[in-house]
Amino acid sequence: MNFIFRIILNRNFILVIAVIIGLIFGDYAAYLQQLTILILGLTMVFSTTGIRTRSFFPLKKVVQPIILGTVLNYLVFGAVILVTAWFLMPTKELFLGFVVIVAAPPGVAVIPFTGILKGDLEYSIFGVFGAFLASIVIAPALVGIFSDGVISSYSLFILMVKLVLIPLLISRILLHKSIFKYVSIVRGKVVDWGFALLIFIAVGMNRDVFFSNPELLILISTVLISATFIIGSIYEYLLSKTTVLKERITSQVLLLTIKSSGFSVVTALTLFGKEAAIPSAVLAVIVLLYLLFLSIKMELIKK
């Protein structure tokens, strides 16, 4: 019985079920659309409690991972996504969906999976934190440029403050030792189920695409696989030929390839409508498969 409960409460199982339920009961997703920003805000508050303030001192040790995490997560990942999406996407809304993915901060899964994959946990925390803060400036600029001014950079900046900066600040309060002992009990499940709800909404609102337009799904998957499986494997191979420590390579690969699908779902829905959220819905599936791939690869290497 305990084994069954462990499976049911497993993060990967929950996300897979969210996709399946979205495909089956997607008609109900529209009722939750108005709650997406609230769900994401709450999820971000609990997820960022994994970033401890005291870890950032002395400051000189965090500069390099913060800069590199930002470069990998936005510049390198973004170049691959935007170039391939520009040539493959049939509509502007779908392309803008990829712009939102590039603008999104890294996925919080980077931190726990760094531990699972035996990477440099402290390095990943610094990189995620730096990229989170950078998203407050990068996202409005990026979306403003590619949306041809349809979306005001200022309005998106305010949205980023609400969804990134304010949750990060609130999470500092939850880290107080008198509160965190209770937060730590529910944190993982709040994050897992929060992102599962957002994925359900994105998949459910676009379920007709999943069933009726396999060609479009192949194109979207091609773009996302290029920016995860392919670029991640190339980057890991190139760094393995250098003197960079294996643990640090693992952290950098995760910082390069993992984006917050929940964040991009909400932002795409809010700014550009449900069609623009299709790439983010597919991203949730691709990221899940990629993390499973990395986990299985590590086990095979150990054996």
* pLDDT the model gives residue 3: 46
CATH of the domain at 235: 1.20.1530.20
pTM for the whole thing? 0.85
pLDDT at 10 (0 to 100): 65
The answer to whether position 303 is within a domain reads no
Question: Does any domain span residue 142?
Answer: yes
Is residue 6 in some structural domain?
A: no
Predicted local confidence at residue 48, as pLDDT: 78
Structurally, the chain folds into a number of domains equal to 1
Q: What is the mean pLDDT of each run of 10 residues along the chain (303 residues)?
A: 51 79 86 84 82 69 88 96 96 95 88 83 86 89 83 80 86 88 86 84 82 91 96 96 94 94 86 90 87 84 73
In a domain, 271, yes or no: yes
Residue 1 inside a domain? The answer is no
Would you list the DSSP string of the chain?
Answer: -HHHHHHHT-HHHHHHHHHHHHHHSGGGGGGGGGGHHHHHHHHHHHHGGGS-GGGG-SGGGTHHHHHHHHIIIIIIHHHHHHHHHHHH-SSHHHHHHHHHHHHSPBPTTHHHHHHHTT--HHHHHHHHHHHHHHHHHHHHHHHHHHTTTSS-HHHHHHHHIIIIIHHHHHHHHHTSHHHHHHHHHHHHHHHHHHHHHHHHHHHHHTHHHHHH-HHHHHHHHHHHHIIIIIHHHHHHHHHHTSS--HHHHHHHHHHHH-B-HHHHHHHHHHHH-TGGGHHHHHHHHHHHHHHHHHHHHHHHHH-
Predicted local confidence at residue 11, as pLDDT? 67
In a domain, 122, yes or no: yes
Please tell me the predicted confidence (pLDDT) of residue 176.
Answer: 87
User: In this structure, is residue 144 part of a structural domain?
Assistant: yes
Say if 5 falls within a structural domain: no
- What domain range is 235 assigned to? 14-296
**How confident is the model at residue 29, as a pLDDT?**
85
Residue 19 confidence (pLDDT): 84
